Structure 1
């Protein structure tokens, strides 16, 4: 596998996206060597939570250490001061936010990638020997479909359904799209433990984090009736509870951090749905792990 050149690509958030890839040999530039790479994550961030769960499922504490950052970035620009040297070494005259997540190369002191899907795939393919097959052979198209469904049908739809300053018919259309997505997933999960292939895969990580975001972030901007309709998908939320009790999932559930990060960044109005919690995430995580990350 050849590596994408280490270059900054502008993104809507103004921070560059680095798309280097870990390959199999020296020709790739970033080839797979245990303890060469380091993760920098905030589990209060959805992408950081996805990577942290993947990292734990694969058992990569030794081969690819992870540094956990504060829930709320400590720089006025919205980045983390601890990541500033990496960004400045990786992008000429960089002045934007030093945002997480980051996969860095300890050999060069530069950023390999800030793109969560690439990071998750490279960790699984090059350091995940002996762990679960999170990206089983032939399942890539299914996993990509789940990623799109979660991004568009759950997270984007939920955000638009609760957006301030948007016409009511637009919010209603977004809520309808969200409920349609949840309904199809609920029917699909009836009698199933996992989303695809009857085994734990990256698709489960993707969906679980989207459900966490839906109940801990987007719910705050929806009315109580909408939240009750969202909660009325028993197979889907039972699935979310089961995964929360898995140590690789539940130990990274920083509920207080998610709330603080949301309040620090969100400019929307709190709605009646804020009081209607769908799951007691802390209790379900504690069932198996005994404690949640604080």
Structure 2
């Protein structure tokens, strides 16, 4: 118990100065305003409007978006990919127009909605409405509402005893590149534990790992120079739930300098456009913009 309290105090201490820096003004000016949030939650039982049941919900995700990547990894870890439908935007050639379906869901949820159809978005197939488009809410509901907490074969991504620490790490990561305090904290933790918050994998590891693989090449090389962090990146990357994402391809080449580096983020949406076609019609909220160098959801 004392270790958990000390950890929370450490996270609080290092996260305070981060709030002073937050987003550079130039980036804030480049993305005026934030898309509207829809933040209904999944209830614990049938008494709520939205309750957990297989095949009722539909997730819209996007290539290059760190928030979408965190959600997709979480689905894999919890064995939910067959019970929660997922659509990746933009749609492949010849497929139905998923973007039009997503826009319809937004318009059904809010009369005369004229904002962008943002991703990630959790939609209810029964009512045709958007339930939630706030990444942390979606992650928490997947971990707590859709998963049998008594199933020993599944990871407990958000155990009650560590919930405050998981939230503190999310605040620490904030908006933009993974900050040095977060990396320093992880480096210290990995000196005596295999995972960010102890002996078992949690949502904090998903958040931190996605932040790490979205670093630009120069920053990732600095991570690779440290044995603990680099071993952590590679170890989680070998797990099936973390493996196979476009932006994780060639991480070794990036750290070893085998690719020419122009200072851009190789996990950005600009790179993913080449793989998946035009994404200009798919919008990620300002605090989830995939052009940033790290997770910001």
TM range (shorter): 0.5 to 0.7
1:6-17 superposed matches below 5 A: 13-17=33-37
CA distance in 2 between partners of 1:17 and 1:200 (Å): 29
Distance 1:22 1:228, change over 3 A: closer
What secondary structure does 2:145 align onto? helix
CA distance in 2 between partners of 1:132 and 1:107 (Å): 29
Q: Deviations over 1:96-132 (max 9, x none)?
A: 2111111000110000000111111111112211321
**Could you tell me which residue of structure 1 aligns to residue 295 of structure 2?**
none
Aligned residue pair count: 219
TM-score by length of 2: 0.66
Match of 1:49 among 69, 72, 89: 69
Distance 1:232 1:95, change over 3 A: same
**Root-mean-square deviation over aligned CA pairs:** 2.8
Consecutive unaligned residues in structure 1, runs of 5 or more? 1-10, 73-78, 159-177, 266-294
* 2:184 paired with 1:183: yes
CA distance in 2 between partners of 1:94 and 1:230 (Å): 43
Q: CA deviation at 1:62?
A: 2.6
* 2:44 paired with 1:24: yes
* 2:117 paired with 1:98: yes
What secondary structure does 1:235 align onto? helix
Match of 2:164 among 141, 155, 158: 141
Q: Deviations over 1:124-170 (max 9, x none)?
A: 1122113211111211101111112222xxx5356xxxxxxxxxxxx
CA distance in 1 between partners of 2:163 and 2:185 (Å): 20
Distance 1:247 1:12, change over 3 A: farther
What secondary structure does 1:133 align onto? coil
**Could you tell me which residue of structure 2 aligns to residue 251 of structure 1?**
244
Asked if the contact 1:52/1:252 (under 8 Å) is kept, the reply is no
* 2:117 paired with 1:116: no
What secondary structure does 2:161 align onto? coil
**Could you tell me which residue of structure 2 aligns to residue 192 of structure 1?**
193
Higher normalized contact order (CA 8 Å, seq sep 6+, divided by chain length):
2
Q: CA deviation at 1:260?
A: 6.0
* 2:270 paired with 1:262: yes
**Could you tell me which residue of structure 2 aligns to residue 59 of structure 1?**
79
**Could you tell me which residue of structure 2 aligns to residue 202 of structure 1?**
203
Distance 1:137 1:179, change over 3 A: closer
